[in-house]
Structure 1
Amino acid sequence: MDPLRLYVDAQFASPYAMSVFVALHEKGLPFEMSTVDLGALEHRAAGFSDLSLTQRVPTLLHGDFALSESSAIAEYIDEVFPGTALYPSEPRSRARARQLQAWLRSDLMPIRQERATEVVFYRPSSAPLSAAAQASAKTLFDFAEALLPADAENLFGAWSIADVDLALMLSRLVLNGDAVPPRLASYAGRQWQRPSVQRWVRQVRPPL
């Protein structure tokens, strides 16, 4: 098998790098990991910028093939390698999982700004949520409540990578002490204890 190398942010705080890291571990794939210091603009420097078309992390290098954008990487991994399925097998559930991933990456900006993942991996924020962030949180809760079946551990029966992505978005609020519906907080907490997720949580991080 061609070697795999995953490029992630030097702070191990990117939710998208975490998603691919978890996907690789769930597949049981051996891989090397390299860090990119975004603060020092290493993603713009020659070398990485030649490797990654979008000059972003995560970027996965599989042999001589480099791919960025986390959901594209997860889909590629799922299609190329056997092992734990990262997406539901049923077409509509798979489409819904991809919809959720796209939405989490393109919407809810007030939450992503006011509860950046530093509150998850470094320290909480003492600032209250703005009105815009509260409105985004309600949208998030409504979506999650509608998608998560009653008394279910996962969104689509068996675990999928979309569970990790949703749990991390919820955890921006849960782990900061913001109000989250108990059912959703419990769901996020269960996903957070998954061994592949905890491997990312336990990464040694440099000071901010």
Structure 2
Amino acid sequence: MSILHRARFTVSAARLDQLPAPTVAEVCFVGRSNAGKSSAINVLTNQKRLAFSSKTPGRTRLINLFGIPDPIDPDQALGFLVDLPGYGYASVARNTHEQWADILGGYLRERSSLAGIVLLIDIRRGVTPLDQRLADWIAPTGRPVLALLTKADKFPYGQRIKAVTAVRKQLAAIGALYTVPFSATHRIGLEEAGAYIENWISPKVVP
């Protein structure tokens, strides 16, 4: 069983200073509103409603941490999956956009326990200007990035491969970038993505 399947909700935070001390590996999930972030977290953890998917895109404004218990000491966390607020939804007020940018940018740049970033991009939209802005935040940190091209079931295989090539080219500024076509509903790319995330949390899991 994947260690991700043991993930449990731990805490929500509205600000960076409300997060627990950075002691164990964290893998954050970030993406444009409606890119399928909650669905990805739920299928990767084999749970139906671990991550809340609002019917109103852009409504979730909290940082949510899901702890993965240490198999040796279940009272201690082996690591955390971190669900960051979605960004870029048009109906949200400008000052709220700016607040989210501060939270996202601050977490990505300053969180010392951040082991890897899962960037979710709707395969049908490709890299939007907002995705590119986020990539510009990430690149200087040197953090490894797993780009999940969500809703990959909407494209035939050949078109998926072309999309992967295009995203790699557009996000070339991110040095450690790995790109996977992904679909939560059709479980495309699930094992590959899960192995990457597990290895960030506990390098002993994957050779």
Kindly name which structure, 1 or 2, has the bigger radius of gyration based on alpha carbons: 1
Task: Judging by fraction of residues, say which structure has more helix.
Answer: 1
Task: Judging by fraction of residues, say which structure has more strand.
Answer: 2
TM-score, scaled relative to structure 2 = 0.31
TM-score, scaled relative to structure 1 = 0.31
